[in-house]
Amino acid sequence: MSTSLMRELFNVDKPIIGMIHFLPLPGTPLYDEKGGMKKIYTAAIEDALKLKEGGVDAILYCNEGDRPYSNIVSPAVIASVAYLISKIQKDINLPFGINILLDSIASISIAHVTGASFIRAFLTGEYVGDMGIMKTYGPETIKLRRDLHAQQIKVFANITAGFAVPIAQRSLEDSARGAVFVALADALCVSGSAAGVEIKQKDVQIVKKAVPNVPVIVSTGVNKDNIKDILKIADGVIIGTALKIQRETLNPVDIKQVKEFMKLVREIRKY
């Protein structure tokens, strides 16, 4: 079942999903008023074209530049992201998803109007850390998907958090099963403690064993050194930092890194 969903969405069994991190959007603290939306679009389309040329299977759009992140984003952010993606996707014929930090309701809304295949979001639990207490809106998100008649949009649920820890200390097994049974997640994302930080292989194995029929995506810390081992276990990866210039999360995409990474992935897929 996990393999069939990945192939349905991405036309490949173990997809490589490259990230586009938008520069700070209108209304957020680091927004560049002088550069405006033109600057944000230019940076994003350049990254998207590099990811496509490099051979990734899909793209995940994220408002990574909008620090500090909010549980509920502003209408300006929602409008900006919808506008940018609609414009970029005219030139990028790849499946794509939405990841609005930390607003799952905004994510499903943008996904619906732009034609996205999936979202990445927190659906269960609450977390505490650098962003204070992070609430989740799983029931509201899944209900909105139903109300919009948008069941084709799949929900990839985070069960580990960057820059935060769960308030309720539960096992990975319980968190995985809960996200699937209670929140109706279509796939699960597991990550390290921050962007670019690796997750332990044994933790990926624990989640796969807990929900064997649900896709498990590794969503931080993926790189050329560990991708072979990761793809032995996981059903796909989301990769951002390792494909950036100097491996800095908010830097532009490095086309050389993308091509080298995807060349390695193609070799791995032969076996």
- Report the pLDDT value the prediction gives residue 120, as an integer from 0 to 100: 98
Q: What is the pLDDT of residues 85-106, one digit of tens each?
A: 999 999 999 999 999 999 999 9
Regions in the chain scoring below 70 on pLDDT: 1-3
DSSP H helix total and E strand total for the chain:
9, 11
138 assigned to some structural domain = yes
- Residues pairing with 134 in the sheet: 127
271 assigned to some structural domain = no
102 assigned to some structural domain = yes
Q: Tell me which residue range forms the domain holding 50.
A: 2-266
Report d(CA 196, CA 238) in Å as an integer. 11
- Report the pLDDT value the prediction gives residue 135, as an integer from 0 to 100: 92
CATH number, domain with residue 187:
3.20.20.70
258 assigned to some structural domain = yes
Q: What's the token pair of residue 124?
A: 């269960």
80 assigned to some structural domain = yes
Q: What is the pLDDT of residues 18-72, one digit of tens each?
A: 999 999 999 999 999 999 999 999 999 999 999 999 999 999 999 999 999 999 9
Alpha helices in the chain (DSSP H): 2-10, 36-54, 75-88, 104-114, 138-147, 172-181, 201-210, 227-233, 255-269
**Is the omega angle on the peptide bond into residue 68 within 30 degrees of 0, that is, cis?**
yes
pTM score of the predicted model: 0.96
- Report the pLDDT value the prediction gives residue 163, as an integer from 0 to 100: 87
100 assigned to some structural domain = yes
- Report the pLDDT value the prediction gives residue 192, as an integer from 0 to 100: 85
Amino acid 51 reads L
171 assigned to some structural domain = yes
Instruction: Give how many domains the chain has, as a whole number.
Output: 1
